[in-house]
């Protein structure tokens, strides 16, 4: 078997998730979004079947698999029209960081809930003024007796209203140097001093975005995840999985858009023949199929490198996969709308909403420009520009 073919187990996993997600589908997902509902039923069913924590060690309720497995789950959900953004965050980022750096007690306390869906965890890194410059984070953590006190602001934090806790990136003062270093804290979403305010978004999704305000939020000593002096290494442990998951999220959406466009092109008859017979319609869809498969292959490579422990190689591949998948998804959504003609901008056909949903992939969790900076520097050896 070549490395370009997924294992039989992975293929069976994909098929099982497809079957599960198809019971819900895009219409259900969109209805939840437009009515202010939540995807809790689907989330809990994924957890109950063991797919949600498939990347988390078995002794904590997980499946003991790798990031490639959870990425496959994420992709298949998206391909059925049910892209769950919190899959990127809760099991992949938070689950990975806690699995790697948490104490035994922290793993026992938080990981089982991430696996069965009853203890969803959000992730808060982005700030209004820092943007993509994580070195400029101003949320601070200061020691107070045995505990900590957090102050600061975060923005575009997904699903705070659905999460019991949020993993917050803050900066604590180094006693030796006086400099601020990044640290990770698990903060209950109902903690006194934490306020979350929903941001009005154009994207049609049941998962909301929030501004989060931390005003003298007091935490016990064991809210700190990992070594206080672990710094960026601990933080970046969650960022490669985040990029791999974002790529899977985008390729799934791209597949959904292409499937809908292809089906329409086969059945819509104009000039006495299905429109898919015309190269002006067929070729862009064929192009999307190629772009999607290329992005999926790079995502598979990134996951394989990460699961093999090659963090450096995985960093390059994960960035490339995330870039390629976002581009493929934006193009696929645009071509799907065009294939549908006027129907492409109606709510009935549900294509136009994909334009905003896929476009977000070019911005978050890291912008295409920052990926190009990464590739310029690390892959090509060009001078740093920022």
pLDDT at 220 over 90: yes
Choices 3.40.640.10, 2.40.110.10, 2.40.50.140, 3.30.1330.40: CATH for 123-230: 2.40.110.10
Strands 180-188 and 165-173: antiparallel
pLDDT of residue 232: 80
Q: Please report which confidence band the pLDDT of residue 176 belongs to, taking 50, 70 and 90 as the band edges.
A: confident
pLDDT of residue 229: 83
Helices (H), the chain: 8-22, 25-35, 40-48, 67-79, 85-87, 95-101, 104-116, 232-236, 239-267, 279-307, 311-340, 352-359, 368-374
Angle value at C-alpha 301, between 295 and 305, nearest 5 degrees = 145
pLDDT tens-digit readout, 239-284:
999 999 999 999 999 999 999 999 999 999 999 999 999 999 999 9
pLDDT at 174 over 90: no
pLDDT tens-digit readout, 97-114:
999 999 999 999 999 999
Q: What is the pTM of this model?
A: 0.97
| Domain 8-119 class in CATH | mainly alpha
Any idea what DSSP says for residue 226?
S
Q: Provide the percentage of residues in the chain whose pLDDT is more than 90.
A: 90
pLDDT at 1 over 70: no
pLDDT tens-digit readout, 323-371:
999 999 999 999 999 999 999 999 999 999 999 999 999 999 999 999 9
Mean pLDDT of 307-333: 97
pLDDT tens-digit readout, 280-303:
999 999 999 999 999 999 999 999
pLDDT of residue 293: 98
pLDDT of residue 380: 98
Q: How far apart are CA 327 and CA 113, in angstroms?
A: 34
Peptide bond before 300: cis, by omega within 30 degrees of 0? Answer: no
Residues 237-257 as b/e (b if ≥16 CB within 10 A, e otherwise) read bbbbbbbbbbbbbbbbbbbbb
Q: Do domains 8-119 and 238-379 have the same CATH topology?
A: no
Q: How far apart are CA 364 and CA 122, in angstroms?
A: 15
Q: Please report which confidence band the pLDDT of residue 233 belongs to, taking 50, 70 and 90 as the band edges.
A: confident
Strands 165-173 and 140-144: parallel
pLDDT of residue 3: 63
Taking residue 147's Cβ as centre, other Cβ atoms within 10 Å add up to: 14
pLDDT of residue 253: 98
Quote the mean pLDDT of the chain: 95
pLDDT at 23 over 60: yes
Residues 314 and 306: beta-carbon distance below 8 Å? yes
Q: What length is written for the chain? A: 386
Domain definitions of the chain by residue range? 8-119, 123-230, 238-379
Q: 3-state SS string over 32-94?
A: HHHHCCCCHHHHHHHHHCCCCCCCCCHHHCCCCCCHHHHHHHHHHHHHCCCCCHHHHHHHHHH
pLDDT at 191 over 70: yes
- 238-379 is classed CATH 1.20.140.10: yes
Comparing C-alpha atoms, which of 174, 194, 163, 183 is closest to residue 223?
183
Q: What is the DSSP string of 150-197?
A: EEEEEEEEETGGG-SEEEEEEEEE-TTT--EEEEEEEEETT-TTEEEE
């Amino acid at each position: 078997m070549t490395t370009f073919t997924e294992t039989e187990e992975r293929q069976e996993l994909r098929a099982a998730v497809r079957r599960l997600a198809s019971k819900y589908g895009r219409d259900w997902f969109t209805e939840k979004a437009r009515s202010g509902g939540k995807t809790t039923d689907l989330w809990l069913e994924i957890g109950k079947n063991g797919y949600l924590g498939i990347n988390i060690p078995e002794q904590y309720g997980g499946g003991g698999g790798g990031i490639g497995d959870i990425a496959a789950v994420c992709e298949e959900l998206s391909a059925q029209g049910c892209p769950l953004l919190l899959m990127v965050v809760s099991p992949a980022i938070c689950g990975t960081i806690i699995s790697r750096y948490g104490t035994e007690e922290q793993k026992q306390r938080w990981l089982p809930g991430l696996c069965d869906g009853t203890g969803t965890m959000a992730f808060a890194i982005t700030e209004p003024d820092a943007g993509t410059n994580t070195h400029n984070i101003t949320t601070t953590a200061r020691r107070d007796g045995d505990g900590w006190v957090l102050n600061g602001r975060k923005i575009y934090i997904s699903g705070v209203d659905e999460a019991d806790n949020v993993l917050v990136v803050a900066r604590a003062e180094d006693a030796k140097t006086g400099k601020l270093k990044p640290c990770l804290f698990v903060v209950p979403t109902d903690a006194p001093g934490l306020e979350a305010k929903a941001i009005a978004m154009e994207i049609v999704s049941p998962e909301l975005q929030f501004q989060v305000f931390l005003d003298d939020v007091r935490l016990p000593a064991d809210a700190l995840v990992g070594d206080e002096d672990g710094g960026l290494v601990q933080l970046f442990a969650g960022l490669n999985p985040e990029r791999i998951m974002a790529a899977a999220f985008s390729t799934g959406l791209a597949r959904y858009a292409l499937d809908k466009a292809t089906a329409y092109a086969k059945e819509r008859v104009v000039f006495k023949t299905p429109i898919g017979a015309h190269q002006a319609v067929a070729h862009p869809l064929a192009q999307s199929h190629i772009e999607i498969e290329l992005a999926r292959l790079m995502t598979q490579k990134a996951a394989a490198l990460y699961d093999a422990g090659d963090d450096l190689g995985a960093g390059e591949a994960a960035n490339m996969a995330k870039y390629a998948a976002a581009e493929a998804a934006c193009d696929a959504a645009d071509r799907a709308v065009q294939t549908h003609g006027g129907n492409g901008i109606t709510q009935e056909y549900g294509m136009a909403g994909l334009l905003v949903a896929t476009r977000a992939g070019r911005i978050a969790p890291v912008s295409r420009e920052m990926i190009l900076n990464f590739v310029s520097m690390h892959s090509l050896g060009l001078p740093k520009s920022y």
